């Protein structure tokens, strides 16, 4: 196991495959939070790292690959707090293959927002995330051109709490998956056409969806249901792995990897496409998984006051 620490907190959040490894985005805290980029090879060895920051706190939450580089997203110029923070601006930047910024954009939507998903499409960039005002929380969608300039934006809902899950593309549009709470948590699929107009809304069950993927035209999620590590192929099957939370998904040719936390430990499990458990492995204690590739897991391990990145082959 390889361990990397760059501050009081070092937290990976999302990753994308590169030509010769994986590029991880997350956040690091010393005095303020900064966006962290880590380039690692296929063995999990660090090749380079970069930090982006400025006024107040900056956090990295999403990354996508494009032809000539990468798009990164998150929240900037806000104040981080245990319940999410305040005054965040949604953030999008393009970087080249060396991690240098080409351009960046900051967006004000409702007053407190974050980009959690970036989907490059044929005629622009689709962004999804959370947006809130002083009283309620919800979601936003935005389409930009290839320079990050907005073409349209939409906001959804006003709930006591809301947690963005992901965006799934379809033939006739796309679906935003989010978890919302008034009395209890429930997962909802919001369906949109390519112009950003909502065409449907479907409840997917009680619980929280923390990662979402498309699996042969169906929605695959992992998260938390009644305190259990929850995995579900919507409309087909669902299962739980024990007390904990699912946080990461990787679709393989011969099955599905899910990662997260069980009983305080970071775990990875492989399931068949029918939902049956093939194997389950504990990778380290006192932590959880945030990012999965085909043969590496990246996550957090608590060591005293420091939170570090721990990468582990399996």
- Mean pLDDT in runs of 10 for the chain (314 residues)? 90 94 95 96 93 96 96 97 89 97 97 97 97 91 98 95 95 95 96 95 96 96 98 97 98 97 97 98 95 92 76 80
φ and ψ at 197, to 5 degrees? -90, 135
Where do the domains of the chain lie? 213-293
pLDDT value at residue 173: 93
Give all strands of the β-sheet with 89-95 in edge-to-edge order. 57-66, 69-78, 89-95, 101-107
Query: What is the Cβ-side half-sphere exposure of residue 255, based on CA atoms within 13 angstroms?
Result: 13
pTM, 2 dp: 0.95
Beta bridge partners of 277: 271
pLDDT value at residue 306: 64
Distance CA 63, CA 119 (A): 9
């Amino acid at each position: 196991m390889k361990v990397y620490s760059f501050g009081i907190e070092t937290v990976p959040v999302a990753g994308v495959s590169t030509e010769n490894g994986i590029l991880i985005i997350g956040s690091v805290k010393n005095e303020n939070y900064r966006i962290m980029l880590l380039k690692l090879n296929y063995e999990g060895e660090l090749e380079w790292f970069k930090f982006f920051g400025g006024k107040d706190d900056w956090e990295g939450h999403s990354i996508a690959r494009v032809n000539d580089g990468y798009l990164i997203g998150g929240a900037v110029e806000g104040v981080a707090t245990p319940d999410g923070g305040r005054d965040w601006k949604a953030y999008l930047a393009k970087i080249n293959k060396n991690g240098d910024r080409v351009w960046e954009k900051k967006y004000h939507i409702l007053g407190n927002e974050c980009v959690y998903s970036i989907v490059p499409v044929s005629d622009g960039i689709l962004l999804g995330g959370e947006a809130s005002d002083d009283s309620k929380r919800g979601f936003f969608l935005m389409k930009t051109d290839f320079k990050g300039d907005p073409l349209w934006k939409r906001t959804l809902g006003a709930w006591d709490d809301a947690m963005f899950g992901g965006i799934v593309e379809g033939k006739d549009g796309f679906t935003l998956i989010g978890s919302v709470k008034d009395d209890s948590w429930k997962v909802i699929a919001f369906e949109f056409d390519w112009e950003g107009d909502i065409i449907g809304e479907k409840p997917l069950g009680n619980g929280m969806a923390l990662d979402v993927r498309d699996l042969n035209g169906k929605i695959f999620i992992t998260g938390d249901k009644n305190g259990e590590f929850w995995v579900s192929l919507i409309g087909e099957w669902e299962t739980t792995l024990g007390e904990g939370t699912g946080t990461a998904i990787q679709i393989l040719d011969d099955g599905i990897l899910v990662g997260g936390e069980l009983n305080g430990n970071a775990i990875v499990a492989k399931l068949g496409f029918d939902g049956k458990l093939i194997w389950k492995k504990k990778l380290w204690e006192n932590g959880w998984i945030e990012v999965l590739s085909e043969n590496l897991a990246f996550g957090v391990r608590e060591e005293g006051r420091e939170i570090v990145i721990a990468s582990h082959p399996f």
